[in-house]
Amino acid sequence: MTQRCQFSWDWRFEHFHARQRSVKAAASCGGLEFAGNPGTGHLDRGSFWGTMRRLGAPDFPVNRKVNLMATKALSFDVGDYVVYPKHGVGRVVELQNTEIAGTKLDLYVLRFEKERMTLRVPVGKADAVGMRKLSSDKTMKDALETLKGKPKVKRTMWSRRAQEYEAKINSGDLTSIAEVTRDLFRADDQPEQSYSERQIFEAASSRLARELGAMEETDEKAALVKILEILNKAAAIHNKAKAELAA
């Protein structure tokens, strides 16, 4: 029995839908593999456009209702550093033209060296998935100032806080990432972090350091030293103020 996929574009909600007779057909439609909801077979905008990759899958008969590729000026050039919310800082290594299920697409090819990962993002969907250029100097300055603030820890269950921290990290917002870094930092004279706290702290501080390193044309290691120096100085000031208040 032939499996069929039918693509349609909902202009009102700007949402990509795949209606198929089986979830398996949606997972490899048009020779591509992409994430989706296995319960419904629906694909959200980010999962399709952000994670697709070529497979040796057979072509399925497709009814293409509209041309999904909109004409748009390129926002990024080859060699540019970019920030992709879920993966952090990457670099545009190539601009590709491809055809998917009869639809022509222009793609940014991003390379994330730390994860050894390559990602292809359609030019017309770069804004929708939150892909952006490196932050401005002012934004980075504000983020580093955030590190100097007093840590804020909610008195809620760790599982809920962990979800909030991860959401902030994956938002791609530099100040939110700095907040997570600040709130989970522990100086040498403070109680140690739990394993899960340490993991999230390292994820947040790494995201911040990679962007700082790209902006200052250094590397993640040098940028992380600068971030930890700011955090340690801030912790000393807060601890001193706390001791004076207690006295």
pTM of the model: 0.67
**pLDDT tier, 245 (very low <50, low <70, confident <90, very high otherwise):** confident
pLDDT of residue 55: 35
69 contacts 7 by C-beta, under 8 angstroms = no
SS3 of 14, please? coil
What confidence category does residue 129 fall into, taking pLDDT thresholds of 50, 70 and 90? very high
Where residue 163 falls among pLDDT bands split at 50, 70, 90?
very high
Q: What is the pLDDT of residue 57?
A: 37
Helix locations, the chain, DSSP H: 23-27, 45-51, 137-147, 158-171, 174-184, 195-216, 220-246
Q: Which value, to the nearest 10 degrees, does the dihedral of the CA atoms of residues 215, 219, 224, 230 take?
A: -50
Give percent of the chain above pLDDT 90: 56
Kindly indicate the confidence band of residue 121, based on its pLDDT and cuts at 50, 70 and 90.
very high
Among residues 93, 18, 115, the alpha carbon closest in space to that of 63 is found at 18
Task: Give the pLDDT confidence score for residue 34 in this predicted structure.
Answer: 38
pLDDT tens for each residue of 41-53: 444 444 443 333 3
Burial 210-226 (b: 16+ CB within 10 A, else e): bbbbbbeeeebeebbeb
User: What phi, psi does 95 have (nearest 5°)?
Assistant: -115, 125
Q: What is the pLDDT of residue 189?
A: 82
